Amino acid sequence: MTKPLSLPLICQPSATRSDTLAVQVYRDLLDAVRAGRLSHGSRLPSSRGAAQALGLSRSTINLAYELLRAEGVIDVRQGAAPQVIAPDAGPAKPPVEVARTPSARGRQLGAVRRDSATEQVSGRMAPGEPSEALFPADEWARALRRAARRMHGPVSSYAAPHGLPALRGILAERLATDRGLAVDPEQILITTSTQGSLALAAQVLSDAGDRAALEDPGYPGARAAFLGAGLRLHSMPVDAEGAQPDGLPDDTRLIYLTPSNQYPLGIRMSHARRLAFLNRTQQTGALILEDDYDSEFLWRGREIAALAAEASAGQVIYMGSASKVLMPALRLGWMAVPPDLVDPLRAAQRNLGLMANLHAQHALADMMRAGRYRAQLKRIARVYEGRGRGLAQALSSIDGVSASQPDGGVQVSARFDGRLTEDGALAAVAVHGFQPARLSDYCAGAELRGLVIGFADATPERIALFADALRTAQSSIPDKNP
């Protein structure tokens, strides 16, 4: 049986109105029926129930109901709740179709689909994804329980939206020891991800129409952040030494770089290039956004400091996250900014609501302070190194496919210089559930063909299956010169 409707949602009788209370109830209900808010067959509460709901006498409700019955709007029967008799409005009119489109800013924010490179958002051997199987679930659960049981004081409300002091403190220590970057904890902002840091920086540190430079091929998320802020883009070609500063326009406002491990090619920027970019920013006033992408994983050569550690004029904003060591969905990132930019970025972060979860911040700080974060990093780095080398070796054994041994990171780029096509390769490996990305989808002007393949979850069995699928795809292509 249908529950009678709640009269206070429709009727608001008041002694200050000119009509009597009974007439007010009658008119409110009549208007609701005519407007379609009360449909045919709707049940009204009994006079006793209505009187209690509206704080009126039963005689007032009975009079209102009698007026409605006289109008033919309700049917009142002994022992039954009054029911609405809606008038026949004739054939239903078709709804008016209104075209709704996003604003200019909305179109800019949606100009780049970051998942366009794959048929799905993620999957087996997708680039940029850590192995969920290696996530330290038990340790993270214990750290979260401890965080949830604490009393956090003002930070449990709206204090410190830019980040938990304990986490900013331990991050400042880690940046100094691991990345050679000396910053005060007050210069660190805890964000939801590197993508969140990029979007925040682009919105605060540039105006629509300004120019931003980014690597080509490069990270689609940077392109999305810059287009979302209404910026003009300049592509910087990438060679064996990293991004090339030659040809950088003098009016460039922001420069996005992945110097430690270029994404997606996996190239470490040479020291000469690093100095060239720093010198250029001192001449033009541009600001470098350093995405220290996958710097945690280094398997060849000596460790180098972050680019921000070499900046003497505060022209670099450093960005990092816990996405690869732990999990992207934890939404934990950070940025170290020059002192004069701390206040405006903090204010904008609060206004945009780009704040990280309190308990997750506490859990991360707990793991870092106790050394469990570093232990997790060492554990997965050994696994990833073996898987990356195994994948690169298997790919290089395929005719027309070239792949360099990765220096770090969790993905490798395989380039096609033969008959194999990106679409053909994707279709062949998708049969087995693999979801790599087209290398060409990372390019703006560069003409590269191939795949970007994640190896964090690349077991030996999966590597063999993946390579066999590529060989099968290649062998199925007819030879143009028989």
pLDDT of residue 92: 56
Cα→Cα distances 129→142, 344, 378, 408, Å: 24, 32, 17, 14
SS3 333: strand
pLDDT (mean) for 389-409: 91
What's the pLDDT band for 478 if we cut at 50, 70, 90? low
pLDDT in tens, 42-101: 888 888 888 888 889 999 989 999 999 888 888 888 878 888 887 665 555 676 777 777
Cis peptide before 328 (omega within 30 of 0): no
pLDDT of residue 479: 65
Q: Strands 333-336 and 211-216, how do they pair?
A: unpaired
Distant-in-sequence, close-in-space partners of 153: CB < 8 Å, separation ≥ 6: 159
pLDDT (mean) for 387-403: 93
Q: Residue 156 in contact with residue 282, Cβ under 8 Å?
A: no
Q: Residue 258 in contact with residue 289, Cβ under 8 Å?
A: no
Residue 318 CA to residue 194 CA, distance in Å, equals 10
Among 94-103, 223-232, 253-262, whose mean pLDDT is lowest? 94-103
pLDDT (mean) for 468-481: 79
pTM of this structure: 0.80
Residue 231 CA to residue 212 CA, distance in Å, equals 6
pLDDT in tens, 444-455: 988 999 999 999
> Over 80: is that where the pLDDT of 195 sits?
yes
Residue 119 CA to residue 123 CA, distance in Å, equals 9
- Name the amino acid, one letter, at 456: A
pLDDT of residue 120: 45
Residue listed under structure tokens 């490069």: 218
Residue listed under structure tokens 């980014």: 214
The Cβ-side half-sphere exposure at 131, using a 13 Å CA radius, reads 21
pLDDT of residue 389: 94
